[in-house]
Amino acid sequence: MKKILEVNDLSISFDTYNAEVKAVRGVTFHLNEKETLAIVGESGSGKSVTAQSIMQLIPMPPGKFVGGSIIFNGEDLTQKSEKQMENIRGKEISMIFQDPMTSLNPTMTIGKQIAESLIKHQNMSKKAAHQRGVELLKLVGIPNPDVRINQYPHQYSGGMRQRAMIAIALACNPKILIADEPTTALDVTIQAQILDLMRDLQQKTGTAIIMITHDLGVVANIAHRVAVMYGGKVVETGTVDEIFYNPRHPYTWGLLGSMPKLDQNKDEELQAIPGSPPDLANPPKGCPFVARCPYAMKVCKDHMPEYTKLSDTQKTACWLLDERAPKVDIPETAVV
């Protein structure tokens, strides 16, 4: 499989009034062509900052590029000027966000917003862009697209706005679509519809997707591979099957153990892991999960574990995988 994006040892900090918050600390992962990679973790794990860094959308300052590279098409996006990025954003790499209301322009019709990017990146005439807009709205399942295209965002329901966002994001056939919690604000039925839509569109267009989520249900639904983030680091990566059936990091066990069961309220997820994430103004020297890990050993506190390669696709950073560590079975709660 061909890699389309490679993030290498990326570190991003934020200067705050009295500290430097190390939001992303040496993150490495890649995205293959035509695949969906889920980046999963709690809020504050660094997943949104990672996503925004790919788009070079982190305001600097207060953001600060500490090091690493983001290779797309053989070029390092961290070295691009704002002007160069403008030719990549929306054209080669697009992004959709949790709340379409914050990224849609309330004063412009949906049609104009789709057309804007087509006119800018593809030199389309107004008329052709309008026509393509109608096609795109149809593609994302908006009924009466030739009427809807002339309406404003507030005339759309939440689910339709998210569909319109997807239409805008896909307008120029980007190679990569980054979706940051795109369904979190939607109710469960609409959420499932949007995920189905994204899966269908991926099959039709071949766009590779990075799906940022805290919800393992979303991961199971749409992803091929998963990167689990914690405390500004990727602690485990693997295929969906590896992560669900052979997870090897205690934080992944915790995530799986706290997946809502069928009779559980959706909002309860991720609350089963006691404790809170590390303070990234003063991050732990060793494993980021040490304060919450039921298996923590002496070595975990001061030394960051290296990645252990478990297969061609799975690697995990945990001292339990060191041959000198006590043997620990994957807890039953983690097995789905």
Shortest approach of Mg ion to residue 43 CB, angstroms? 6
What single letter denotes the amino acid at residue 43?
S
C-beta closer to ligand SF4: residue 100 or 305: 305
Which one of the spans 54-62, 72-80, 106-114, 292-300 is the region binding ligand SF4 (CB under 6 A)? 292-300
Binding mask 216-255 vs ligand SF4 (x if CB under 6 A, - otherwise)? ---------------------------------xx-----
Q: How many beta carbons lie within 10 A of that of residue 224, not counting itself?
A: 18
List the one residue out of 15, 55, 33 whose CA is nearest residue 212. 55
Q: Strand pairing of 307-309 and 233-239?
A: unpaired
Least Å from the CB of residue 212 to ligand SF4:
22
Q: How many CA atoms lie within 13 A of 201 on its CB side?
A: 26
Work out how close the CB of 204 gets to Mg ion at its nearest, in angstroms, rounded to a whole number: 28
Q: Which of ligand SF4, Mg ion, none does residue 295 bind to, with CB < 5 to 8 Å depending on kind?
A: ligand SF4
Answer yes or no: are the C-beta atoms of 245 and 335 closer than 8 Å. Answer: yes
Q: Which residue in 14, 244, 253, 289 binds ligand SF4 (CB under 6 A)?
A: 289
Residue type, position 188, single letter: V
Spatial CA neighbour of 117 closest among 42, 154, 170: 170
Interface with Mg ion (CB under 5 A):
48
- Selection from ligand SF4, Mg ion, none that 72 binds (CB < 5 to 8 A by kind) is none
Pairwise CA distance, residues 49 & 57, whole Å: 9
Contact code string over 300-319 relative to ligand SF4, x by CB under 6 A: x----x------------xx
Q: Which of 31, 38, 208, 290 binds ligand SF4 (CB under 6 A)?
A: 290
CA gap 216, 38 in Å, rounded: 9
Q: Which stretch binds ligand SF4 (CB under 6 A): 26-34, 166-174, 260-268, 284-292?
A: 284-292
Under the binding rule (CB under 6 A), the answer on residue 293 touching ligand SF4 is: yes
Q: Where are the beta strands (DSSP E) in the chain?
A: 3-15, 20-32, 36-40, 63-72, 75-76, 93-96, 176-180, 208-213, 225-230, 233-239, 307-309, 315-317
300, interface contact from Mg ion, ligand SF4, none, CB < 5-8 Å by kind? ligand SF4
Least CB distance to Mg ion at residue 92 (A): 23
CA distance 234 to 253: 15
Find the binder of ligand SF4 among 199, 295, 308, 310 (CB under 6 A). Answer: 295
Interface contacts to ligand SF4, rule CB under 6 A = 249-250, 287, 289-290, 293, 295-297, 300, 305, 318-320
